[in-house]
Amino acid sequence: MKPRAKRAQTARRDGFTLVELAIALAVVALLAGGLLYTVGAQTEQRRFDETRRRLDRARELVLGFAVMNGRLPCPARSSTLATEVRDAATGRCWDGAVEDYYGGSLAGGATGGLLPAASIGFPHTDAAGFAIDAWGNRLRYAVAKSVASGTCAGSFTNPHWVNAANMKANGIGCQPGDLLICKSAAVSPALSSSSCGGTPVGSGANQITAKSLVAALVFSLGPNGRAGATGADEAANLDGGGNADPVFVFHAPTGAGSAGGEFDDQFSWISVGELYGRLITARLLP
């Protein structure tokens, strides 16, 4: 073989090897990409699980607070040091000017309806002391303000209905009367500040819980945090004006293309029966 032909053959062999190398690299890249995707999905699942645990811990601490104090705590707000905002003289969840039972944006740029981490002893907090989920977003908390009419006797001097002393004196038939958890905000008629809307009107078909059931509610804004609350369903959880809107939406996670928009919030609520059970066990109620 002449030297030139031999060189050409060598070049062809080199070229073939480069193509093989390129294919091998592509396969490795695909495998690595798949591995990274799997690791990313596992990390996200761990955050969901950890947030679930924190919500469960939060509800236990809120119930513990109720046992110790004979009442549920009021929410904290972003302008406090993660402690409940409550007027001791009247028992109202307010600072003397603004009430805050359900959360949302308050006057002066403050955010209300935060879990009162310092008051209940919640261990997972940000630098300012506020309770956070596994994504670092502050946990939200709402507490029933009103009493369902006709379910308890006597006069309640404390507008914050959960008061063991009052209940002991007046009977424990009291039920909450305002917090509502709905299935969807993409309904007609729309949600109002006191109903889940939907049809047939007045049927409660869009309700998960009745007003007489939920004493308190803890929730996480999920991985998309507050900024992601652009869909109707998530927006319903942040549209309270402190004391204006006790109506919330909860369901399994959905993507941006769904009727109510992207949804990844996680909820945990305390029913009135569970609260009474704890207070009776602790002998705070007969």
Closest CB 118 distance from Ca ion, rounded Å: 24
- Return the range that interacts with Ca ion (CB under 5 A); candidates 26-34, 68-76, 157-165, 237-245: 237-245
Q: Which residue is nearest to Ca ion (CB)?
A: 222
Cα separation, 281 vs 279, in Å, equals 5
List the interface residues with Ca ion, window 259-278 (CB under 5 A). 264-265
Stretch that binds Ca ion, among 48-56, 166-174, 216-224, 250-258 (CB under 5 A): 216-224
Choose one: 7-15, 125-133, 153-161, 215-223; the region binding Ca ion (CB under 5 A).
215-223
Q: CA-to-CA distance for 188 and 199, rounded, in angstroms?
A: 7
d(CA 249, CA 233): 6
**Is 236 a residue that touches Ca ion (CB under 5 A)?**
yes
Report d(CA 6, CA 8) in Å as an integer: 5
Tell me which of 92, 133, 239, 266 binds Ca ion, using CB under 5 A: 239
Distance CA 129, CA 279 (A): 28
To Ca ion, the closest distance from the beta carbon of 11 in angstroms equals 59
Please identify, using beta-carbon distances, which residue of 133 and 245 lies nearer to Ca ion. Answer: 245
Instruction: Examine residue 221 and tell whether it contacts Ca ion (CB under 5 A).
Output: yes
Q: Is the peptide bond before 159 cis (omega within 30 degrees of 0)?
A: no
What is the closest distance, in whole angstroms, from the C-beta atom of residue 103 to Ca ion in the complex?
9
Residues 6+ apart with CB under 8 A from 265: 219, 220, 221, 222, 234, 237, 250
Peptide linkage before 223 cis (omega within 30 of 0): no
Interface residues with Ca ion (CB under 5 A) are: 221-222, 224, 234, 236, 239, 245, 247, 264-265
